[in-house]
Amino acid sequence: MDQKAIYPENFEEKIIWNAIVWTFPFYLIGALYIVAPAMGWLMVLYLLKKLWNQNINTPKHERIYIPIGVWVWIVSMLVMLIALWVGHADWNLGTTKTIKSSVGWAKGWALMAVFPLIGCLNIRPQIIYRATTIVCRQALFVLPICVIAFYVGLPQELYTSPLKIVGGPGPEFFRVNLFNVTPEGQPRWFLFAPWAPALGFVACIYFLFALQQSGKWRWFGIIGSLAMILLCKSRLALVVIVLLPFSLYALTNLTRFAVIMQAAFASLVAGFIAPILLTYFEEFKAGFRAARADSSRVREALGRIALDRWQSEAPLWGHGIVERGPHLVQYMPIGSHHSWYGLLFVKGTVGFLALAVPLIYSFIELVFKSQTNQTAKVGLGVIIILFLYTFGENMEILSYLFWPAMVLLGIAHKQPFKSPLTEQPGSIQNPQVQITARS
């Protein structure tokens, strides 16, 4: 396979490719938040058109098949919308707020079903891998400029795009920033993301994709994603980047005798040294919290408030909308910084299950498929990252950033089931696809 040149070969690949590689230009004009939902829904219309025209004469390689895993995400995100409507009705929030929140759903939770559905089109995963590594390479040129800007005393914010008139979760989604300074006086960089931990989230996904490349592009992706993680100073990103390779290795080799024996031996040793491990874990946890004590305190307080009000006021359908928190949490929205707390507060138990069910289903299916399929292995990595970040970010408002991962998830669900008993150990290979090379 030629790793020097990978280019889109059809309409859907061209759209995905350009939407990714133009990340920085879109950010500079404030269009990044707009591009993802607009492109996503237009691509759904394109997919529906192809489905409508599909018949027995359609070539096999052009046929669209929507697997069960993608249907689970579609149904679950529709349940999110139902929970939103019921919550608004229960709290008499009015037609205007219901319409506004429904539009927000279409630009948020809905994208977590829209993009796996787009993955059912004829899109090669290599297109996504290469496009994201190109963004990582671009970041290696942009980051030094942003670092220098801090040390020479340039302003944090350059401007706010007039495109903010279209509306969004907040003005930070349309601001162009060079850097940010924490209350402790420490600089953090977040490039095209609305805040620093969000960049760490995206960088973890790009790191996973970079590992699927080879040669210089692999190193561009790895170094670029690690640079973003280090400069955004996201604690969760550092944890994810360490846990991801080990968890993928264990989960994708469950049928290999050597791995099973390693796991058995590790469990035996862990049993003997459990007290020491627990002590180290507590010390790590304390250090993790102390790294940014104020942030940890606010996050924990937001979680407690969200849980208390969910249990006492709206256990089933939630409150319908977010609410501004008290001074104790610096007036941040209740349930923010945590997808599960946010879902319980806004959409209740129904909304909580609407995210838990597709994550669990995708995890189980892709664990099985990843034993013999490399794309499914990457999809499993996506699920692991998404799950870990549900404890640190609100997935809904960041779906416009991590959408390439959801497209890959849809592609992973399309992969066929194969019995690992028919595969030889170590035989998992990248799928052979035709790559267009240009001199």
Domain coordinates in residue numbering, the chain: 11-252+292-422
Does residue 288 or residue 35 have the better pLDDT? 35
Residue 309, pLDDT above cutoff 60: yes
Task: Write the pLDDT tens digit of every residue in 53-75.
Answer: 998 888 888 889 999 999 999 99
Nearest to 214 by CA among 224, 222, 206: 222
What separation in angstroms does the CA of 336 have from each of 309, 331, 382, 393? 14, 11, 22, 7
Residue 278, pLDDT above cutoff 60: no
Does residue 183 or residue 145 have the better pLDDT? 145
pLDDT at 293: 55
Say how many C-beta atoms besides its own lie within 10 A of residue 109's C-beta: 27
pLDDT at 290: 55
pLDDT at 281: 53
pLDDT at 253: 86
pTM, entire model: 0.88
Does residue 403 or residue 282 have the better pLDDT? 403
Residue 18, pLDDT above cutoff 50: yes
Q: Apex CA 434: angle with CA 431 and CA 438, to 5°?
A: 135
Residue 186, pLDDT above cutoff 90: no
Split at pLDDT 50, 70, 90, the class of 289 is low
Give the mean pLDDT of 387-410. 94
Pairing state between β 180-181 and 187-188? antiparallel
Give the mean pLDDT of 20-29. 96
Residue 286, pLDDT above cutoff 60: no
301-307 contact pairs (CB < 8 A, 24+): 301/328, 301/329, 302/329, 302/332, 302/334, 302/335, 302/336, 302/337, 302/338, 302/341, 303/338, 303/341, 305/329, 305/334, 306/334, 306/335, 306/338, 306/341, 306/342, 306/344, 306/345, 307/341, 307/344
Instruction: Specify whether the CB–CB gap between 337 and 393 falls below 8 A.
Output: yes
Say how many C-beta atoms besides its own lie within 10 A of residue 280's C-beta: 11
Split at pLDDT 50, 70, 90, the class of 257 is low
pLDDT at 117: 97
pLDDT at 426: 42
pLDDT at 361: 97
Give the mean pLDDT of 79-93. 94
Residue with the two structure tokens 């001074």:
327
